[in-house]
Amino acid sequence: MTLDELKGLVRDVPDFPKKGILFKDITTMLKNKDGLHLTAKLLSERYADKGITKVVGIESRGFIMGPIVAEKIGAGFVPMRKPGKLPADTVSESFTKEYGVDTIEVHVDAINEDDVVLLHDDLLATGGTMYAAYLLAKRFNPKKIYVSFIAELDFLKGRELFPADVEIDSLIRY
């Protein structure tokens, strides 16, 4: 399977989650065994030699590939979730999304100064969610933060929110 074939497995869903938005649905790619395998392989290869100690998956689709990549590169996995979903003490960051304001949280002991962190989610659109995740992770003063997506909507310019020194990578670009 090629990267173009992988891209072809992503389904467009018009007017989701609200009218006027064309949603890129990766579930059709993940249900295909070859699509899932190639996605895991490509993401893992990109980060295998970066010294990553924690893969942080952003709720909710970052929870799908995040643990797979963490296991393949020998790192731990940390969930970054919506408020009230994590059982211990948390720290949070609020942000504006394409269709409203939201907040994400992570446990206060999830990341430390010795960590090299990979923040992972399925899609980079306007960037609000991942930028909030980046700011939240940065509070822990890790050695380095990488940012990873399965897909990116270039026309929304989400990567422009991040400082120039942040390495951002997407497997598929639209």
Alpha-carbon distance 81 to 105, whole Å? 5
Which residue range is the domain that position 75 belongs to?
Answer: 50-173
- pLDDT per residue over 9-54, tens digit each? 999 999 998 899 899 999 999 999 999 999 999 999 999 999 999 9
Q: What is the CATH number of the domain that holds 167?
A: 3.40.50.2020
Of the listed 11, 61, 139, 173, which one is catalytic?
61
Contact between 55 and 70 under an 8 Å Cβ cutoff? The reply is yes
Backbone angles phi, psi at 149, to 5 degrees: -135, 155
Q: How many CB atoms lie within 10 A of CB 71?
A: 14
Alpha-carbon distance 95 to 160, whole Å? 15
Is residue 17 a part of any domain in this protein? Answer: no
Is residue 115 a part of any domain in this protein? Answer: yes
Is residue 167 a part of any domain in this protein? Answer: yes
Is residue 43 a part of any domain in this protein? Answer: no
pTM: 0.95
Is residue 41 a part of any domain in this protein? Answer: no
61 is annotated as an active-site residue: yes
81 is annotated as an active-site residue: no
Is residue 34 a part of any domain in this protein? Answer: no
Q: Report the mean per-residue pLDDT for the chain.
A: 96
For the chain, what is the domain count? 1
Of the listed 81, 98, 139, 152, which one is catalytic?
98
- pLDDT per residue over 118-130, tens digit each? 999 999 998 999 9
Which residue(s) pair with 13 in the sheet? 23
